[in-house]
Amino acid sequence: MPAGVGSSVLQRVTKPKTHKGKKVLLDREPKVIENTKQIFFVKGAKTTPELQECLKDIYTLKKPDAKILRNRNHITPFEDATPLEGFGKKFNANHFMMISNNKKRPNNLVIGRLFEHTLMDMVEFGVENYMSLNSFKNEKIATGIKPMLVFQGELFENNSEFGRIKNLLVDMFHREDVEQIRLQGLEHVLSFTAHDNCILFRSYKTLLKKSGTRIPRIELQEIGPRMDLRIRRIKLATDDLFKQACKKPKVLKEKKKKNITEDTFGSTLARVHLGVQKLDTIQTRKMKGLKKTTAEKKRKAAEDLDNSQKKAKVSNVTITEA
């Protein structure tokens, strides 16, 4: 028995020393309504200037929910993703993007996401036909703008892998959920087109032109970055895990309201259920003629007293018997 006690060591409890530290730790705990997902960018052992520019451009699109790691890291995510999981835990971020370059896989870009600080989905792309943000000489967009996301191509519907990659890309670029949006702020479009094992990444600025009606006519102007992402290796979560990760908290689920409908005129109709009415005891209109006389009242009081005494006696008997 003593050996058993020795083997089960109590888990250490990290107690924050400062108020700020406490707040940070609390912020990292799982929540019902989660924070905006953060992303971190990692440079691999070897990179090319083009790839680094690509990383910086995506960073500018993702600011301020992004972090770039300055040092190079010898990580091979498809062999061992634990360092990336460690970074995710450290920075409280659950998306990552990594660049690397080698003979076998030139211009390599890995994007992925974590769930519970463990790897969920990860896709490897080869970056082709890259054109940076700066190579398009025109006016750019403001930072922190929620983009409109456009996915084109039949592969996104037919191919399950492309469907999951679409989910990953939406997750990465949609920024946060908003309740309201400024109409003038709809000025950025990210377009992803599936074409022959390739995803064509384009970024546009919208120009709202007059059309003669209330709804403006849209014109697009490419602002970059532009790249064709050729899919290399894919590591996706099982459907079970994905389903588990997509679970919605019970608190946020809306309860269905029963018996309430809305008719064509916009007025709400509701059905109300009443219980059975007790007609013999119900209080109706009070009238002088129906009032009890003093004699009746006295008789009633006497009866009540009698009843209560009887009850008391019965209770007495039971006590003595016991």
Partner 1 sequence: MENTNKPENPEHVEMDVGQLLISDFNKVNLKPKSNWEKVLTSTTRDNVQLLVNQIWTLPAKCIEEVIVTDLPKPTYVLPRSRKVPNPKALTKWEQFAKEKGIQKKKKGKSKLQWDDILKKWIPTHGYKKVEAEKTNEWCIEYKEGDDTDPREALKKAKTEKVAKNELQRLRNLAKSKNIKVPKVGVLNTVSAKDPKLLEYGAKVAEVSTASLGKFSEKPPRKTDGKVTKAKNKLKKKKKNTTGRNPGRAGKAPETASSKKPKAGKGNRDFRKKVGGRKRRN
Segment 81-120, which members bind partner 1 (CB under 8 A)?
A: 94, 113-116, 120
Residue span binding partner 1 (CB under 8 A) among the ranges 56-64, 99-107, 195-203, 277-285: 195-203
Residues numbered 154-173 forming contacts with partner 1, rule: CB under 8 A: 154, 156-157, 166-167, 170-171
Which one among 60, 102, 197, 211 touches partner 1, defined by CB under 8 A? 211
Nearer to partner 1, 76 or 191 (CB): 191
Burial of 202 (0-12, 13-18, 19+ CB in 10 A): buried
DSSP conformational letter for 196: S
Residue span binding partner 1 (CB under 8 A) among the ranges 67-75, 147-155, 262-270, 292-300: 147-155
Residue span binding partner 1 (CB under 8 A) among the ranges 101-109, 190-198, 277-285, 305-313: 190-198
- The binding track of 16-55 with respect to partner 1, each residue x by CB under 8 A or -, is -------------xxxx-x--x------------------
Cα dihedral across residues 98, 103, 107, 109: positive or negative: negative
Residue 10 CA: distances (Å) to CA of 4, 6, 13, 23, 257: 13, 10, 9, 25, 48
Q: Which amino acid is at 104?
A: K
DSSP conformational letter for 155: H
Contacts of 300 (CB under 8 A, 6+ apart): 292
How far apart CA 197 and CA 53 sit, in angstroms, is 24
Contacts of 272 (CB under 8 A, 6+ apart): 259
> Residue 191, interface with partner 1 (CB under 8 A)?
yes
Do the Cβ atoms of 220 and 205 come closer than 8 Å?
A: yes
Whole-number minimum distance, CB 187 to partner 1, in Å? Answer: 11
> Residue 69, interface with partner 1 (CB under 8 A)?
no
Residue span binding partner 1 (CB under 8 A) among the ranges 65-73, 102-110, 206-214, 257-265: 206-214
Whole-number minimum distance, CB 176 to partner 1, in Å? Answer: 11
Which one among 245, 270, 314, 317 touches partner 1, defined by CB under 8 A? 245
Do the Cβ atoms of 38 and 93 come closer than 8 Å?
A: yes
Count residues binding partner 1 (CB under 8 A): 72
Residue span binding partner 1 (CB under 8 A) among the ranges 100-108, 193-201, 257-265, 283-291: 193-201
Which one among 14, 18, 71, 184 touches partner 1, defined by CB under 8 A? 184
Do the Cβ atoms of 96 and 65 come closer than 8 Å?
A: no
**Phi and psi for 199 in degrees, rounded to 5?**
-115, 120
Which one among 46, 66, 206, 234 touches partner 1, defined by CB under 8 A? 206
Which residue matches tokens 């890291």? 73
